[in-house]
Amino acid sequence: MTTMTVCIENNADANYVATMVSKINGVSKVKMQTKQKLERIPGLAYTQEERVADIRKAEEDYAMGKVITSEELGKRIATW
């Protein structure tokens, strides 16, 4: 089985695409989702907004010097 995700802004176009895809030989199901449901990144346990917030926090931490080297991380991991 293959899953295809298509993001379309215009609802009329989305309905047209769904109709055309449903006519393809072997397609057993066409599922439509609203934008609210698509806010979660497919296959990941967080939303796009959550990921962007995490990246901004990481950039702030870096700017404030709240970082360690990979060598220091390795030393910490070795003590676990």
Residues 45 and 49: their CA atoms lie apart, in Å, by: 12
Q: Where are the domains of the chain?
A: 1-38, 40-80
pLDDT of residue 1: 65
pLDDT of residue 22: 82
Two structure tokens written together for 2: 């293959």
pLDDT of residue 46: 80
Residue 64 has pLDDT above 90, yes or no: yes
CA-based torsion, 31, 22, 26, 4: positive or negative: negative
What are 47's strand-pairing partners?
Answer: 40
Categorize the per-residue pLDDT at 74 as very low, low, confident or very high, splitting at 50, 70 and 90: very high
pLDDT of residue 75: 93
Q: Specify the length of the chain in residues.
A: 80
How open is the CA angle 37-42-43, to the nearest 5 degrees? 130
Convert the pLDDT of each residue in 16-45 to its tens digit: 888 888 888 888 777 777 665 556 667 777
